[in-house]
Amino acid sequence: MKVECIRESVRNALMSLERVTGKNLSLPILSGVHISASKKNNTISLQATNLDLGMEISLPAKIEEEGDIIVPPGVVIGILSGVFDKKIEMAVAQGNLSLSSVNTSSLVKGIQGEEFPTLPVVQGGVELTLPSKTLVEGVKSVWYSASLSDIKPEISSVHISIQNDIVVFVSTDSFRLAEKKINASRVNEEAELLLPYKNITEIMRIFEGVSGEVKILCNKNQASFFAGGTYVTSRVIDGIFPDYNQIIPKNHQTSVTALKQDFMNILKVANIFADKSNRIEIIADPKEKLFEIRSHNANIGENTSRIDATLEGEKISLGFNHKYLLDCLPSIKQESIVLHFAGQGKPLILQGKGDKSFLYLVMPLTPQ
């Protein structure tokens, strides 16, 4: 292999791919990035996989000789970060990769490229196209609510479904649930897939820097994402996501409307005095026009904070994990939020004022 390409493009690609490399001690080859060159398309292909998530980035290059090699990405990134020439020449000789520019020359030990596993390609299934910003916005709005435990894979995931031009993103850890609905024109397919939490966070980061549209192919085992010169493939969880609609309260007894920033500020103060379970108490009394948050820690002290709010309905007092309430606020773009209380011991629904596209449900803590 002998190619000439843009140094910064290769460096950026390797930085993205490094996050996908595996740490499998029994298969050390997965810790490397596979670099191959083809005269057919005048491109170099850089691939990485941990067998659960795979990624390929194609870059334009001047190809003098075809070939391939596997190298440790961190080493090559370090070299390219210290090179200030616009172009870099890469060549394979005796199983090593040489990197040279006008002022520098380095040699990196590599592994033969044919040993690298082939990235899977989805055969059959559903095909659809979404704007990259739609995919990223949907995932960003809900991913934090997924379970971090692998005991129940179906909730250690983000559930994506497409019906009637609406894409619905949902995640839950059984204590809270986030749902984001986004209109997507030209989506005529119906599809449903469960993407593992660890994979979806990387997919979100990858496509944050990609403009245009993302083509998605999915079947019961695999999902693939194409955008420009970037290809990502992920394992799909074989399971059934909970029928969460039945736990969403249809009516509420108390509603509170407040500025999001005010609510966020008092939650941060309450956090200082929260106990080991992150417990805070929310008190809403429409008759007294009172909305306050209390927290108590036997070793630190206690705090009560009030904020201006519009209240309707009956008086209520419930305990919540303050972290769960804070997590959802970046997903709300409106300046005001609405808290709907269904009653004692029942879930709280939190939304942006006037926005039905995002819904956040939190289960209350048991009374002390």
> What's the rounded Cα separation, in Å, for the pair 157 and 238?
11
- Note the Cα 223 to chain centre separation in Å: 15
pLDDT of 306-329, one tens digit each? Answer: 999 999 999 999 999 999 999 999
Domains and CATH numbers, the chain: 2-115 (3.10.150.10), 126-244 (3.10.150.10), 248-362 (3.10.150.10)
Smallest Cα–Cα separation from 209: which of 351, 344, 13? Answer: 13
Q: Is the pLDDT of residue 24 over 80?
A: no
Tell me the pLDDT band of 164, cut-offs 50, 70 and 90.
confident
Look up the pTM and report it: 0.90
Quote the mean pLDDT of the chain. 92
Q: Is the pLDDT of residue 158 over 70?
A: yes
pLDDT of 293-303, one tens digit each? Answer: 999 988 899 99
Q: Is the pLDDT of residue 189 over 70?
A: no
State the pLDDT at residue 186. Answer: 59
In three-state secondary structure terms, 162 is strand
**Roughly what angle, to the nearest 10 degrees, separates helices 7-18 and 73-81?**
140
State the pLDDT at residue 183. Answer: 85
**Residue 13 φ/ψ, nearest 5 degrees:** -65, -45
Section 227-250 average pLDDT: 93
In three-state secondary structure terms, 324 is helix
State the pLDDT at residue 317. Answer: 96
% of the chain with per-residue pLDDT over 70? 98
Find the angle CA(354)-CA(352)-CA(343) to the nearest 5 degrees.
Answer: 100
State the pLDDT at residue 27. Answer: 84
pLDDT of 1-11, one tens digit each? Answer: 999 999 999 99
Name which residue leads in pLDDT, 190 or 251. 251
Q: Is the pLDDT of residue 13 over 70?
A: yes
Smallest Cα–Cα separation from 241: which of 323, 300, 157? Answer: 157
Section 21-32 average pLDDT: 85
